[in-house]
Amino acid sequence: MKKISLVLIITLILTLILLQPAMAVQVIKCGHGHSTTHPVHLGFEVFKALVELKTDKYTVEIFPASQLGSEAEMAEMCKLGTLQGVMFGRFESMGKQLYTPALPFVFKDYDHVNRVLNGPVGDYLASFTEDNGLKLLGWAHSGFRQLTNNVRPIKSPADLKGLKMRTPPLENILKTIDAFGTSAVSIAYNELYMALKTGVVDGQENPYVNIASEKFYEVQKYCTEVNYIYMPGPFCVGLDWWVSLSAEDQKIIDEAAKVATMYTNYITESTEKAYKQECINQGMEIYEPTDEERQAFIKMVQPVYDFFIEDGASNQMLIELIQNS
């Protein structure tokens, strides 16, 4: 009798458990503007794997290649809560103060970048995103940017005269290209290849990873390795969504984001030479300026600093602090 009662009790308990509605798995949607071979996408794949390994409450969906819209549109989606995460470089959406580490010639190399952005200066700059509806969880590399065109080799700012250069709609890049004395034309990233192919613009600027992954070498003959701007691509999530999470879930998401950006940075740094070599193998002529030639570019960018200082986005002390760190 006791055995029968025990069996009935266990059966009843199991039945009640099975009748309980399954816990809904929450979807974390993340978007970016690059191909699925780009380090940014690979970083998101790490983020997905780590979150889903740590908890069964969430599943991560990744939307590459601007499937959900432009970077500016994805930033607004994060603020509204229809998208949770984005790795991007639209600083007007995050806070104009984040333009400071993306000003021309403030960083020497990746070691310099990592030292600054993974320290107190990086934490200070990240705090401004919260005033704009976002939460910055990690600093990802978008790389040091080079100049390419299909007309002639660029060895000095004077060689840029008369060329139409495509830029993203970012004030730091627009102002710098203007300071170099050439025309800046804003064209969406996903429309750039055809704009170069059809001659709508003569050239563009991007890091080697973008030049190679988007096959710009097919429509650009010349590249100048001037490393004129380093662009961070911070991993941000919507602030309202972030504060709605439990402390435990915030810890899971934060740790996964930091590992993801670390992986993106590792891939970017370790493959840059390979991407450069791919461009060479595909027929692109790459010119490496001498120190003296590069200095001619550097001398022309003080008006860019002045613009951002006057706009309240930065100050000379912070710029010099980064340069000398």
Measured in whole angstroms, how far is the alpha carbon of residue 170 from the centre of its chain?
13
Phi, psi of 243 (to 5 degrees): -70, -15
Please list, in sequence order, all residues whose beta carbon lies within 8 angstroms of the beta carbon of residue 308, skipping any fewer than 6 positions away.
96, 99, 100, 103, 171, 172, 314
- The fold for domain 25-102+110-142+232-271 equals D-Maltodextrin-Binding Protein; domain 2 (3.40.190)
Measured distance CA(317)–CA(24) in Å, rounded: 50
* Residue appearing with tokens 């996964």: 256
pTM of the full structure:
0.88
Return the structure tokens found at 145: 């940017």
Distance CA 212, CA 205 (A): 12
Within this chain, domains 25-102+110-142+232-271 and 144-230+274-323 share the same CATH topology: yes
Q: Helix 302-310 crosses helix 171-179 at what angle (to 10 degrees)?
A: 140
Question: Strands (DSSP E) along 182-276, which ranges?
Answer: 183-186, 203-206, 222-224, 230-232, 235-238
User: Can you tell me the distance from the alpha carbon of 201 to that of 222, in angstroms, rounded to the nearest whole number?
Assistant: 14
* Tens place of pLDDT per residue across the chain (325 aa): 444 454 454 444 445 445 444 557 999 999 999 989 999 999 999 999 999 999 999 999 999 999 999 999 999 999 999 999 999 988 989 999 999 999 999 999 999 999 999 999 999 999 999 999 999 999 999 999 999 999 999 999 999 999 999 999 899 999 999 999 999 998 988 899 999 999 999 999 999 999 998 999 999 999 999 999 999 999 999 999 999 999 999 999 999 999 999 999 999 999 999 999 999 999 999 999 999 999 999 999 999 999 999 999 999 999 999 999 9
**Nearest one of 131, 164, 146, 143 to 89, comparing CA atoms:** 143
Locate the domains of the chain by residue range. Answer: 25-102+110-142+232-271, 144-230+274-323
- CATH fold label, 144-230+274-323: D-Maltodextrin-Binding Protein; domain 2 (3.40.190)
- Tell me the torsion sign for CA atoms 243, 246, 251, 257: negative
Alpha carbon dihedral 82, 37, 140, 239, in 10-degree steps, equals 10
Pair 88, 233: CB distance under 8 Å: yes
Backbone φ and ψ of 62, nearest 5°? -110, 130
